[in-house]
Amino acid sequence: MTITLIATVLNEGDNIQRLMDTIQHQTLHPDEIVIVDGGSRDQTVEILRPYEHILPLRILIEPGCNISRGRNVALQAATSDIIAITDAGVRLDHDWLEKITQPLRDNPTYTVSAGFFRADPQTAFEAALGATTLPLLAEINPATFLPSSRSVAVRREAALAVGGYPEWLDFCEDLIFDLRLQATQPPFAFVSQAIAHFRPRPTLTAFYKQYYRYARGDGKADLWRRRHAIRYIFYLVALPVLIGLIVAIHPAFALLLLIGGALYTRTPYRRLPVAMTSLPEASLMDWLYALSLVPVLRVVGDVAKMIGYPVGLWWRGQNHPPSWKL
């Protein structure tokens, strides 16, 4: 049973060597590696070329393709039974490929193997962002977990049977891929030890853009209506009413605002010690900075989603994309 490792890249010159070095030192080596470049304008392809001589690597150039198209090109080009999928911006544990593919190699009833991912922060900002946006392993329900395509393995036949990744969707494409597989395949195997480490966005602007695009993708795919509705109700209805009560009735109503804020940030604060231990050295100032960032990151993420989601809905109304449901 052979294994192909695939990824799609675009302008990843700063990150691609880290990924390739961790692939090179895996305990289980892939039979082939297919990387699709979407037309990088930096040194990504030049950095990849030397690895063609030391790894079973094929580099395919598809200028202008989005991440879904890139992954589909790689799926079509792959010749193996099992496809391991990751992203350029990660480093893989040395036994990631062995762990992520083991359920598929050992048990023919499994068609999807879901690995896990952890933040790999380099600054206090990135640690706070990882704590705010990424779950800890203890929070995962293996029965419902939908893997990111930075850490997943699938039988090629199953991936092609669901149409691969939706090429009309530029973000949230791996979520649609997961939902299609979940609807048509046996339960996923969850492999908590198959870890891909990735660096959170380094700035507030980059984080805003990321969550704006995620929410725009939700709107395009018509996902999570209730979640987005609750967010609008809180910020546009409940919060103004509460502020009005504080101003017009009594300042004591501010206690409700404080309680709500504490509840809303308790999960990131619970995760923060784990994220901060990933830093080489964390000073007291780093800790104070990270603690102060958590509520800011919560609000900025929500605002990004509230702006991005209707943009996606408008796009959906104008373009009438195909239904992703099978």
| Per-residue pLDDT tens digits for 41-65 | 999 999 999 999 999 999 999 999 9
Q: Is 285 helix (H, G, I), strand (E, B) or coil?
A: helix
Least Cα distance to 91 among 49, 61, 121 occurs for 121
Burial 284-299 (b: 16+ CB within 10 A, else e): eebbebbbebbbebbe
- The low-confidence residues of the chain, meaning pLDDT below 50, are none
- The reported pLDDT for the residue numbered 176 is 96
The two most distant CA atoms of the chain are separated, in Å, by 73
- The reported pLDDT for the residue numbered 281 is 85
**Do strands 82-85 and 3-9 pair parallel, antiparallel, or not at all (unpaired)?**
parallel
Decide if 114 contacts 96 (C-beta within 8 A): no
CA–CA gap between residue 212 and residue 311 (Å, rounded): 9
Domain with CATH 3.90.550.10 in the chain: 3-198
For 244, other C-beta atoms within 10 Å of its C-beta total 11
pTM: 0.93
CA–CA gap between residue 8 and residue 37 (Å, rounded): 6
The CATH homologous superfamily of the domain defined by 3-198: Spore Coat Polysaccharide Biosynthesis Protein SpsA; Chain A (3.90.550.10)
